A and B are shown apart, each in its own frame.
Chain A
């Protein structure tokens, strides 16, 4: 009976062979990155001081860098939530693990872990800050890889016992992990036998994270051997590079076998398993890949603020990341990136600046930064009510959201498509 229906069959888009489509986004991203860098490095210092302070208030380089890091996290969460449809409310755990891997391997902290280690001095191509040569110092680029691997492992460990649970329960378990790990970070000052081990330095956190070495690029005149704490423009290059990597991996992996399996289990787990998708392995790999992004982002964030602080890792971070993914357009790499950059900016400087403009124009005395909860909550609620698919929706998500729900059709026993559409329309009108 479905053969007579006139409903269009949803076909997956054929891979594009057009060079503009294939090379368009790397070139566009590169151009944007270069533009931001060139503007901040050379053009901004030449402008008059009014413009400089104004620009510094609206779009300071620290906020830009931070937003880029948030985008890396959001892309990682997008793989878990957007691609595979596994709701993860504890993503902040991977951020924390990545950060603490950096704290251990890139700071003088390691010699405080155990009293007997006081003279520990290991240096593997590391670039410690001057005067802080003790502890473990591993090269930044190696730490990125190590953190990605450690987080992927952590993702598998968290996922293995829990991934057979269904949506809400899975969300809850991940939330549990996302709450336990920050508590471990906060209280990790006295653990082990007789409380002699100090693995996280408690709420004081770990500071003195190493610098980023530039490697062969230091041969270029003007590029230092290591990127210092306040070298924000050069740091931007590193962070933008990692964002480009995250986007590239997200886009490419999606076209392959693994990515299609993720989309399949997102759409219908049961059908996917019937078609021979190994559910556990595919879900675990989604967790592992998403977590690896989190680890990379954690290391980046540790180098961005020059330390790891336990108080940063709380539940609201997971929620903000989820909001970035959902508001940007779940499953769509561009949407998620734009959503992450936008929300991160609003969270850091945007809201206060927009509020200042509003106050200047209307003469009001509203402290907008203190209303960020309202703004954030209202954005979430309004988006869910009126634009559920996000800013830049994925084509597939839009189709799913506009179709009537499957269970509804079945519950009415309507196998003829016409009937199903009528009931769905009726349900939609009734709200």
Chain B
């Protein structure tokens, strides 16, 4: 290469005025949100705190579901639309185990055991179903154009909804289940904290830490990252690609199973089309944090949960919650498509 060519390649591209305008507009929006938050915090500190608590509880659930999305996307770049419906199945299943078999409706040792059993069953079943789906449907489509696995995922989502619609599951109408704590809560100062939020956090945080440990410190995690990087190269290095992908699906399914039980314990109602909505929110959370990035998914989950509950309390009200979530998504896509913690990728030619 001649010297001028090297010099030309090292010149930093000038930032175009549109980019500068977009960036400053994004920062302006962010600043507006910050000012709004501070204002509400000063004006209604107590309500703000209780909304924050509710938001953290929801956010933990979103984070669990989002982790499953983001892991699958990170490894095979598939938007797994059936993930939310898998979560729905786990919700109903854990309701059947905890509420119908053992009628766990109060905080006793037996009930705790029943819920723990339900948690285990939900995790195992959801993981098994997800692995089976991968084996039957996605594995054959790994080399196909991207639309094919996406549509398969949608088809699977319909099939899961069909299972959820059967009478032994929820049927077509929403169903109420008894939960361990009901609406019991304790107070810190004057802020009401439901027991379920504590339980959700007590289960979620260790699970998230385990996931991060698994991916970043263990041999299996190394294999996962290698497969996500380049499947063929990973295969040449002696990594069993199929098994690694199946393992990721098992992990994602297990997280969806855990989230299902926690959702049931904190909300108490199930419906066959519940998974779609929550799946979309969780996916937005995954994108918000930077899809394919574990910490990002957790961060995004908590952010979306808090944002949603603040919206319910202060901004537009509950009927606009999806609008708020998706407006955040679209704004993010316009200003920072790679997400908060994600890194920008350039297209390889």
Residues of A participating in the B interface, judged by any CB pair closer than 8 Å: 81, 87, 161-162, 165-169, 171-173, 175-177, 179-180, 183-184, 186-187, 270, 315, 319, 322-323, 326, 330, 370-371, 373-374, 376-381, 384-385, 388, 400-401, 404-405, 408, 411-412, 427-428, 431
Q: Is B148 an interface residue (CB 8 A)?
A: yes
Cβ–Cβ contact B158 & A373, under 8 A: yes
Cβ–Cβ contact B283 & A374, under 8 A: no
- Distance between A63 CB and nearest chain B CB, rounded to angstroms: 21
Cβ–Cβ contact A180 & B326, under 8 A: yes
Hey, which chain A residues are within 8 Å of B79, CB to CB? 168, 171-172
CA distance A377 to B81 in the complex (A): 12
Q: Is B274 an interface residue (CB 8 A)?
A: no
- Distance between A57 CB and nearest chain B CB, rounded to angstroms: 24
- Distance between B80 CB and nearest chain A CB, rounded to angstroms: 11
Cβ–Cβ contact B137 & A381, under 8 A: yes
Cβ–Cβ contact A385 & B141, under 8 A: yes
Hey, which chain B residues are within 8 Å of A165, CB to CB? 333, 337
CA distance A166 to B77 in the complex (A): 12
Hey, which chain A residues are within 8 Å of B261, CB to CB? none
- Distance between A75 CB and nearest chain B CB, rounded to angstroms: 18
Q: List 10 tightest A-B contacts by C-beta distance, closest first.
A: A380-B155, A377-B158, A373-B162, A176-B326, A377-B159, A381-B155, A374-B162, A377-B155, A384-B152, A161-B334
Known A-B contacts A179-B326, A408-B232; A374 and B159 likewise in contact (beta carbons under 8 Å): yes
* Number of B residues, CB within 8 Å of A: 46
Hey, which chain A residues are within 8 Å of B349, CB to CB? 270
Cβ–Cβ contact B330 & A177, under 8 A: yes
- Distance between A127 CB and nearest chain B CB, rounded to angstroms: 36
- Distance between B28 CB and nearest chain A CB, rounded to angstroms: 16
Known A-B contacts A87-B147, A380-B154, A431-B140; A162 and B333 likewise in contact (beta carbons under 8 Å): yes
Cβ–Cβ contact B322 & A380, under 8 A: no
Cβ–Cβ contact B232 & A411, under 8 A: yes
Cβ–Cβ contact B137 & A377, under 8 A: no
CA distance A404 to B144 in the complex (A): 9
Q: Is B145 an interface residue (CB 8 A)?
A: yes
CA distance A379 to B330 in the complex (A): 32
Hey, which chain A residues are within 8 Å of B276, CB to CB? 315
CA distance A373 to B233 in the complex (A): 40
Q: Which of B77, B158, B162, B165 has the most CB of A within 10 A?
A: B158
Q: Is B323 an interface residue (CB 8 A)?
A: yes
Q: Is B64 an interface residue (CB 8 A)?
A: no
CA distance A377 to B334 in the complex (A): 33
Cβ–Cβ contact B151 & A384, under 8 A: yes
Cβ–Cβ contact B158 & A376, under 8 A: yes
CA distance A164 to B319 in the complex (A): 31
- Distance between B344 CB and nearest chain A CB, rounded to angstroms: 12
In terms of DSSP, what is the predominant structure of the interface of chain B? helix
Cβ–Cβ contact B143 & A381, under 8 A: no
Cβ–Cβ contact B329 & A381, under 8 A: no
Cβ–Cβ contact B148 & A186, under 8 A: no
Cβ–Cβ contact A180 & B151, under 8 A: no
Cβ–Cβ contact A385 & B165, under 8 A: no
- Distance between A129 CB and nearest chain B CB, rounded to angstroms: 31
Hey, which chain B residues are within 8 Å of A179, CB to CB? 280, 322-323, 326
Q: Tell me the nearest residue of chain A to B345, going by C-beta.
A: A166
CA distance A277 to B154 in the complex (A): 33
CA distance A177 to B326 in the complex (A): 8
Cβ–Cβ contact A187 & B151, under 8 A: no
Known A-B contacts A172-B79, A401-B145, A411-B232; A162 and B334 likewise in contact (beta carbons under 8 Å): yes
CA distance A326 to B147 in the complex (A): 9
Cβ–Cβ contact B146 & A176, under 8 A: no
Hey, which chain B residues are within 8 Å of A319, CB to CB? 154
Mark out the residues of chain B between 61 and 85 whose CB falls within 8 Å of any chain A CB in the assembled complex: 77, 79
Known A-B contacts A172-B79, A384-B141, A408-B232; A326 and B326 likewise in contact (beta carbons under 8 Å): no
Hey, which chain B residues are within 8 Å of A175, CB to CB? 280, 326
Q: Tell me the nearest residue of chain A to B154, going by C-beta.
A: A319
Cβ–Cβ contact B323 & A180, under 8 A: yes
- Distance between A407 CB and nearest chain B CB, rounded to angstroms: 8
Q: Tell me the nearest residue of chain A to B165, going by C-beta.
A: A373
Hey, which chain B residues are within 8 Å of A169, CB to CB? 287, 333, 337
Cβ–Cβ contact B155 & A172, under 8 A: no
21 pairs, CB–CB < 8 Å, chain A vs chain B: A87-B147, A165-B333, A166-B347, A167-B146, A168-B146, A169-B287, A171-B150, A173-B330, A370-B165, A371-B162, A373-B159, A377-B156, A377-B158, A378-B155, A380-B152, A380-B154, A380-B155, A381-B152, A381-B156, A411-B230, A428-B143
CA distance A405 to B161 in the complex (A): 33
Q: Is B157 an interface residue (CB 8 A)?
A: yes
Mask, B325-349, CB within 8 Å of A = 1, is: 0110110011001000000000101
Cβ–Cβ contact B330 & A168, under 8 A: no
CA distance A411 to B323 in the complex (A): 41
Cβ–Cβ contact B232 & A176, under 8 A: no
Our pick among A87, A315, A385 for the contact of B152 (Cβ within 8 Å) is A385
CA distance A378 to B158 in the complex (A): 8
Q: Is B320 an interface residue (CB 8 A)?
A: yes
CA distance A319 to B161 in the complex (A): 14
Q: Which of A81, A330, A431 has the most CB of B within 10 A?
A: A431
CA distance A411 to B229 in the complex (A): 12
Q: Tell me the nearest residue of chain B to A271, going by C-beta.
A: B349
Hey, which chain B residues are within 8 Å of A431, CB to CB? 139-140
CA distance A323 to B158 in the complex (A): 12
CA distance A371 to B283 in the complex (A): 28
CA distance A371 to B158 in the complex (A): 10
Our pick among B139, B156, B233, B330 for the contact of A176 (Cβ within 8 Å) is B330
